[in-house]
Amino acid sequence: MDNYRIIQFFNTVKYLKVKQVFFRLYYFLKSRVFKKSPITRTPSNSIPIIWENIIDNYTSFNITSLTFNFLNISHSFKKEINWNYDHHGKLWTYNLNYFDFLNQEKIVKEDGLLLIKSFIQKKASVIDGNEPYPISLRCYNWVKFLSKHKIRNIEIDNILYNDFIFLFKNLEYHLLGNHLLENAFSLLFGSYYFQDKNLYLKSKKLIKKELDEQILNDGGHFELSPMYHQTLLFRLLDCINLIKLNKSWIVDDFVIFLEKKASLMYSWLKHITYQNGDIPMVNDSTFMIAPSSKNLFDLSKKLSINFDLLPLSDSGYRKINSKKYELFIDVGNIGPDYQPGHSHSDTFNFELRLNKLPFLVDTGISTYEKNEIRQNERSTVSHNTVMINNIEQTDVWGGFRVGRRAKILNIIENEAQITANHNGYKNIGINHERIFKWCDNKIEIKDSLNKSSKAKAFFHLHSSINKPRIKNETVFLVGLGVNISFSNHSNIEIRKYKLSHGFNRKKLAFKIIVDFNQTLLTQIHL
C-alpha cells in the first residue's frame, strides 16, 4: 500500500466509532473461528396480529413468467428461483431476498406462499440473503404478508422466528446508521407477531436511541439522502400503524415518541419535495425505490400525524420557492462522520427547477457497484459546484468510503442570500466561498477563492433540454427564455454527459463547464 492509500485509509477510519471497530472485528472472528450452528428455537406464542397495507410496493414480480424486475433489470427464472443469483450485482441479489414483492398490489395469497416456501427449501444454501440487512427486510415483509392474509404456518413461523433471533444476535453495530435502524424496525414487527417481550424491549430501546441520534433538529435523516429519508419515514409510519392496530398486547407511550419523530420527518420532507412530487437527487437518491412523498403525506394523515413546518437548519439543505422556480441548495457537511456511505463530493451543490420542471440537476446515481461509474457519480465533477486544480472537494472512494472531507466553516443567510465557505481545499491553501442571491427574475451565484487557481464550475442541464448556444459571455437556452451569463471566466464549454434516470438507466444530456481563476459571477436570468 502506497503512502496515498495509507493516508486515505487513515482519513476514513479515524471517524469510526469504537463500537463499529469492535463489532467489525467481533463479527469477523465469529464467522471464521466459531462454527455456525443453526438456531432452532420455537416461538412460544402464535397469535395473529392485525395488519392492513396502506401503501403497496412497486410491482417487481410476475408469477406467470417467474420474472423479477429490480433496479430496472429484469430476469426470468426457468423452473425455480435461484436466491443466490448474482449476475446483476449484489444489490440486485439483495432485492431478490428482501421479498418486497410480497406486498405489491396484485400478489395473491397462494402465489406469495409459493415464494416463501421456495425460499425455505433453499434457505440453507442462501448466501447474501442470510446477512442481517436482507433478513431485516425479508422478515418485515413476511410478517406483513402473513398477517394481511391471516396465514399461520408452523414451518414458516419457526423459520421466521429463528431469523428474528439471529438478527437479534447479529445487529449491524459495525455499520450503524440506516442499517441498524432497519434492524430495529424489523425486530419490532417480530415482537408483535410472536408476542415476544424480549424482542419488543430490544427493538424499543434501539429505535429510541437511533431515532434520537439519526433524526436532526430540522427533521432530516442524518445521512442526508432524501430517498433514504422517504424509506425510513415509511418504516416509521408502518411501526405506528402496527402499534395502533394491535393495542391489546402492550400498552405504553412508545407510539407517542414515534409520532413525534414522524412529525419531524414529515416537516423536512415537506420542505424539500418539489411541487411535482419529486425529491432532489442528492446523496444516492434515485427514482422508483422509496415510496413517493405524496404517498407518505397521505399515509401520515391517515395515521393522524400532526406536524409543524419547521425551518431547514441542521441538515444543511435550503429550499427557495418562487412563482417561477424552486431552488435547492446544499450548504451542509458530509454526514454523519462515522457513516458517510451515501455521501458525495458535492459541497455547495444545487438544483434548479423552472415552472415545476427540472432545469439544473444533480446527475444522480445509477449503480451501487464499486466501479468507475459509481466513482464518477459521487465525484465533484458530477455536481453543480466547483473543482479546484482537478482535486476532489471530498475524497470519495471504494463505492461507499469517504476519506478527507470538506467542512463548512460558516454560513450567513437572510431572506434573499446565503453565504458559506468550506475547507475542502485547505491542503493546497485554498478557501472556497459561494454566495447565492435570488429574486423573482434572477439567481446569482458568486464563487470566490482566496488565491488564483485552476478552477472549474459545473452546471448540469436536464436531459429534456436541448443543446445550449454560447454567445460571448452568455449561454442561451433555446425555447426556455432563459440565459446564463458569466463574468471573470477564462473559458466556457458545452459537453455531453450521462444523466441517471434510476439504477442502470441513463440519458444523454448537456453540461456547462466554466473555467476561472479566482472569482466567477454566474447570473441565471429567468
Residue 8 lies in a domain: yes
In 439-480, beta strands by DSSP E: 442-449, 455-460, 469-471, 474-477
Residue 33: band (very low, low, confident or very high) from pLDDT cuts 50, 70, 90: confident
**pLDDT tens digits along 15-31:** 999 999 999 999 988 87
Give the pLDDT confidence score for residue 41 in this predicted structure: 72
Residue 298 lies in a domain: yes
Report the half-sphere exposure of 207 (CA within 13 A, side-chain side): 30
Instruction: Look at 51-65, 140-154, 277-291, 386-400 and tell me which has the smallest mean pLDDT.
Output: 51-65
Q: Do both 404 and 496 map to the same domain?
A: yes
Q: Do both 15 and 58 map to the same domain?
A: no
Q: Do both 344 and 490 map to the same domain?
A: yes
Residue 189 lies in a domain: no
**pLDDT tens digits along 134-160:** 999 999 999 999 999 999 899 999 999
Residue 442 lies in a domain: yes
Residue 179 lies in a domain: no
**pLDDT tens digits along 435-480:** 999 999 999 999 999 999 999 999 999 999 999 999 988 999 988 9
Q: What is the CATH number of the domain that holds 354?
A: 2.70.98.70
Q: Do both 154 and 231 map to the same domain?
A: no
Q: Do both 421 and 470 map to the same domain?
A: yes
Give the pLDDT confidence score for residue 58 in this predicted structure: 79
What total of structural domains would you count in the chain? 4
Whether the predicted pLDDT of 11 surpasses 70:
yes
Cell of 7: 493516508
Q: Do both 98 and 227 map to the same domain?
A: no
Prediction pTM value = 0.96
Residue 428 lies in a domain: yes
Give the pLDDT confidence score for residue 278 in this predicted structure: 97
CA distances from 172 to 132, 193, 201, 208, 416 (A): 7, 22, 17, 16, 43
Q: Do both 385 and 438 map to the same domain?
A: yes
Cell of 298: 397521505
Residue 420: band (very low, low, confident or very high) from pLDDT cuts 50, 70, 90: very high
Q: Do both 478 and 336 map to the same domain?
A: yes
Give the pLDDT confidence score for residue 35 in this predicted structure: 57
Give the pLDDT confidence score for residue 201 in this predicted structure: 97
Q: Which residues contact 294 (CB under 8 A, 6 or more apart)?
A: 277
Residue 3: band (very low, low, confident or very high) from pLDDT cuts 50, 70, 90: confident
Residue 40 lies in a domain: no
Residue 187 lies in a domain: no
Of 170, 193, 225, which residue is a domain's last? Answer: 170
Of 310, 336, 355, which residue is a domain's last? Answer: 310
**pLDDT tens digits along 99-141:** 999 998 888 999 999 999 999 999 999 999 999 999 999 999 9
Instruction: State the SS3 of 249-315.
Output: CCCCCHHHHHHHHHHHHHHHHHHHCCCCCCCCCCCCCCCCCCCCHHHHHHHHHHCCCCCCCCCCCCC
Give the pLDDT confidence score for residue 168 in this predicted structure: 97
Give the pLDDT confidence score for residue 52 in this predicted structure: 87
Q: How far apart are CA 201 and CA 199, in angstroms?
A: 6
Q: Do both 286 and 371 map to the same domain?
A: no
Whether the predicted pLDDT of 56 surpasses 80:
no
- Answer left, alpha or beta for residue 323, where phi above 0 means left and psi between -120 and 50 means alpha: alpha
Q: Do both 19 and 83 map to the same domain?
A: no
Q: Do both 504 and 414 map to the same domain?
A: yes
Q: Do both 85 and 145 map to the same domain?
A: yes
Residue range(s) defining the domain that contains residue 431: 319-525
Of 279, 310, 341, which residue is a domain's last? Answer: 310
**pLDDT tens digits along 70-93:** 999 999 999 899 999 999 999 999
Give the pLDDT confidence score for residue 259 in this predicted structure: 98
